[in-house]
Amino acid sequence: MTALTLHGVLGDFPRLRHALTPTPIHYLRSLSKWLGVNVYCKRDDLTGFGFGGNKIRKLEFLVHDALQRGCRTLVTCGSNQSNWCRMTAAVGAANGLAVHLVLGGGRPERATGNLVLNAMLGATCHHLDTHEDGELEAAAAALAEELEADGLRPYRMVMGGSTGLGALGYVDAMQEIMLQEQELGIGFDAILHATGSGGTQAGLIAGKALGGWPGRIIGVTVSRSAEAQEAKVRGVLESMAALLNTDFSAAAVVACDAYFGEGYRKNTPAALAAAETFARLEGLFLDQVYTGKAAAGLIDLARRREFGADETVLFLHTGGEAQLFE
């Protein structure tokens, strides 16, 4: 199978069309010279809709499903500065759906970053004084039950939209990358990206398997150990396998866990330095708790010669710059 025939796989799954895709790929000339490795960037921060970022690719499939089911309300959860929650609020607003967000971290004294955008989009925010994913998911599930009892027809989405259906957005992105390789006359040896809820990585891995792409997909974990992240990604792959009637059990899941520090939503000195490096060498802004950690991983792996001098690496920028204004 090739990128062209991947289109046929996705054709069975209708979706909304909000993202401005395909997103561009460009060469990071100064960074490449500094690292001694050819590095390109896939600009999923430029998906355009709702302040951009990778989450819109998942939401196009998920919210289409919600509308087909006759739902009137979207319910999900994340941190106060969750890009996923901000994008859910944007898609809900654009499709006439009410949005309820269960947000961890307590109610801040003043709104900043994504919280400002959530308010502009009309989302209802429910603040919990916890950072535990399980507690947030349980609270969102309970809220969905309350809304159902009130006749508001909720559509419940897990954190990050990382289900088999949502992850199809990154099968589509893998198709884009393969087509762009042909257009640019480039063969990428590796794709490196931040991995958290697992849907982006699972979608890329599934796309690689279905399309026969030969390179490596490297997820830099932002919140958990490599073992725990691999299990999370494999869970999404199993869900995708059921949707697509295929088997991804033999697919490699590579998770690098040396860069997440004390956990999710917490920056690290290496992430701060990497974000500054990308800004000063390329004029490219990264957030400091997600893409910044992936960039720290890229820089360290390149310095340790984990990539050959003749290899070409694609850095997937998944967005999140609103966190800079927290």
Same domain assignment for residues 249 and 139: no
Per-residue pLDDT, 260: 87
- Residue 67 and residue 54: Cα distance in Å, rounded? 21
Query: 146, 161, 176: which is the final residue of a domain?
Result: 161
Domain containing 85 — which CATH number?
3.40.50.1100
Mean pLDDT, residues 255-282 taken together: 90
Say if residues 104 and 128 touch (Cβ distance below 8 Å). yes
- What is the per-residue pLDDT across 59-96, written as a single tens digit (0 to 9) for each? 999 999 999 999 999 999 999 999 999 999 999 999 99
What is the per-residue pLDDT across 13-61, written as a single tens digit (0 to 9) for each? Answer: 999 999 999 999 999 999 999 999 999 999 999 999 999 999 999 999 9
Print the domain residue range for 99: 55-161
Q: Which of 32, 82, 162, 197 is catalytic?
A: 82
Q: At what angle do helices 226-244 and 164-184 cross, to 10 degrees?
A: 90
Under DSSP, is residue 183 helix (H, G, I), strand (E, B) or coil? helix
Q: Are residues 171 and 303 in the same domain?
A: yes
Where a domain ends, among 142, 161, 180?
161
32 an active-site residue?
no
Query: Distance (Å, rounded) from C-alpha 91 to C-alpha 134?
Result: 25
Q: Does residue 210 sit in the same domain as residue 296? A: yes
Cα–Cα distance between 22 and 43 in angstroms, integer? 9
Beta bridge partners of residue 167, listed in sequence order: none
Residues 164 and 245: their CA atoms lie apart, in Å, by 12
Residue 38: strand pairing partners: 312
Tens of pLDDT along 204-254? 999 999 999 999 999 999 989 999 999 999 999 999 999 999 999 999 999
Sheet holding 98-104, edge to edge: 124-128, 98-104, 73-79, 154-156
Report percent pLDDT > 90 for the chain.
89
Sheet with 312-317: strands ordered across: 25-27, 38-43, 312-317, 190-195, 216-221, 254-256
Q: Which residues contact 149 (CB under 8 A, 6 or more apart)?
A: none
Residue 3 reports pLDDT greater than 90: no
- Taking the whole predicted model, whether its pTM rises above 0.75 is answered as yes
Counting the structural domains of the chain, the total is 2
* Alpha carbon 75 to its chain's center: 18
Are residues 178 and 316 both part of a single domain? yes
